[in-house]
Amino acid sequence: MNTQNKQKHGGGGGTGKICVKVAMGVMGLCLGGYIMGPPLYWHISEPISSLRRSSCPPCLCDCSSHPLLSLPQGLNDTIFPDCTKHDPEVSVDLDKSFTDLTSEEMKLMEAEALENQRRADMAFLEAKKMASQYQKEADKCNFGMETCEEAREKAEASLEAQRELSAMWELKARQKGWKDDPVKSRLRL
């Protein structure tokens, strides 16, 4: 019963964990050998080869001038045969001096800057045009609002004059004996 509980709750997988640890350890050793192997080989092989050939003086070379990754000459010719052929277009580009290349790059940058400036100027003019158009529309709207306000004030004044005139006529009619109908007077209120 105890082994059944271990298997149900994951306690019985000890050999699987050990296999994973061993596999990770082997992978770590292989990776370390891959990274550290070549430098150690050359570091150890130089003293051994110098013991065998003591008649040859040690080579003094400036390793900083060599590229980081270079292929042997024979291998380079077999893998990339087209790269070593003489190409007139490439030689013309290689013959240009550094100042020519720099001045050409500066001219290209200047042309690009001028094009960007032209685009910015066009966008600015378009924005000014749109702003002017919106300002005209706003002025029309303000003028229309002023006209409407004036018309409203005139209509209010005219309505007030009509009320006063109606009140005056009603007063004269009452003085002459006109009586208001009670039903109609309630509807008017």
Segment 135-151, tens digit of pLDDT: 999 999 998 899 999 99
Calpha distance 132→150 (Å, rounded): 27
In-domain check, residue 97: no
In-domain check, residue 19: no
pTM higher than 0.85: no
Tell me if 110 sits within 8 A of 104, measured CB to CB: no
In-domain check, residue 151: yes
In-domain check, residue 117: yes
Residue 144 tokens, joined: 């229309």
- pLDDT at position 96, please? 63
Q: How many domains does the chain have?
A: 1
In-domain check, residue 68: no
Domain assignment of residue 116, given as a range: 111-174
Segment 78-104, tens digit of pLDDT: 554 554 455 566 666 566 677 788 888
